[in-house]
Amino acid sequence: MYRFLLSGRWIGFAIFVVLLAAVCTRLGLWQFDRLEHRLDQNKIITAHLKADPVDVAAAHGPGGTVDDDSEFTRVRATGTYDVEHQVTVKFTTRDGAPGVDVVTPFVLTSGKAILVNRGWQETSNTMARPDVPQPPAGEVTVVGWLRKNNGAGGEAIRPADGQIRAISSIGMATSVPTPLLDGYLNLRSEEPAEAKGLALEPTPERGQGPHFFYALQWWFFALLAVVGYFWFARSEARERRNPTRIDGFATATGPAQST
């Protein structure tokens, strides 16, 4: 009765189901890998945020870069703000309100510089050079979180009319005369404090995210593909065993047999 499964059509269908189930299963495992990575990162972030600030020059990972292990390290740096090369990050929002992040190069006493995201201000996203609070003049000590460069590239990270769309020391390197350290800082405090503050970056969210439920969805699709194959096979076998008769003819197996 199930000899039809050896036909070319059904063999092709079986191969398709196996491949589909395998892909869905692999995507589910990938989501669990992402969940485990996120939980590991949450532990690292929590440990960093509880630790005392370290000197910014000692906080970077191997090769002087900001990696997963060094991101969100609390750092302290002393230097002066380079307001002349300050930019704003357009198309940023808080609670649905449009605004900009204010990013100012911070020249360290070592002679190098690091970008500092000083905070967010509500303003029109279409304004090329919005009026934003100026940082303290003279020598300043800042404390902030070390962050990785945004993964965007091209025009998104290169300043145009004093604006960027994503923060990256790579994109800013050609417009800032001082050599930049990798990554940037999310400002948390500074001494002396500026007269009018910006809205600081919120504490990073450390939930599990949707990865667990995405994994279950992919595995459900894999199960659905396998179950669907057997359901269709059983339906066709039943139809071949008891063909539907229309005007004396069997629709599945040809002419109806006379009784």
Integer CA distances (angstroms), 122 to 21, 94, 125, in order: 48, 8, 9
Mean pLDDT of the chain: 86
Do residue 99 and residue 183 come from a single domain? yes
The reply to whether 238 falls in a domain is yes
255 burial (CB, 10 Å; 0-12 / 13-18 / 19+) is exposed
pLDDT at position 255 is: 41
Of 4-18, 79-93, 203-217, the range with the highest mean pLDDT is 79-93
Domain that holds residue 92: 53-191
| CB count in 10 Å sphere of residue 53 | 18
Do residue 96 and residue 26 come from a single domain? no
Confidence of residue 244 (pLDDT cuts 50, 70, 90): low
Do residue 34 and residue 107 come from a single domain? no
The whole-angstrom separation of Cα 255 and Cα 87 is 80
Q: Copy the structure tokens of residue 238.
A: 């039943």
Residue count (the chain): 259
DSSP string, 162-186: TEESS--HHHHTTT-SSPEEEEEEE
Cα 185 to chain centroid distance, Å, stands at 18
Do residue 60 and residue 109 come from a single domain? yes
Do residue 100 and residue 179 come from a single domain? yes
Confidence of residue 249 (pLDDT cuts 50, 70, 90): very low
pLDDT tens figures, 169-212: 999 999 999 999 999 999 999 999 876 779 998 888 877 788 88
Do residue 147 and residue 218 come from a single domain? no
**Amino acid identity of 106?**
F
Do residue 129 and residue 230 come from a single domain? no
Say yes or no to pLDDT of 245 above 70: no
pTM over 0.85: no
pLDDT tens figures, 23-56: 999 999 999 998 988 888 888 888 888 889 999 9
Count of structural domains, the chain:
2
pLDDT tens figures, 107-149: 998 899 999 999 999 988 767 778 889 999 999 999 999 999 9
The reply to whether 170 falls in a domain is yes
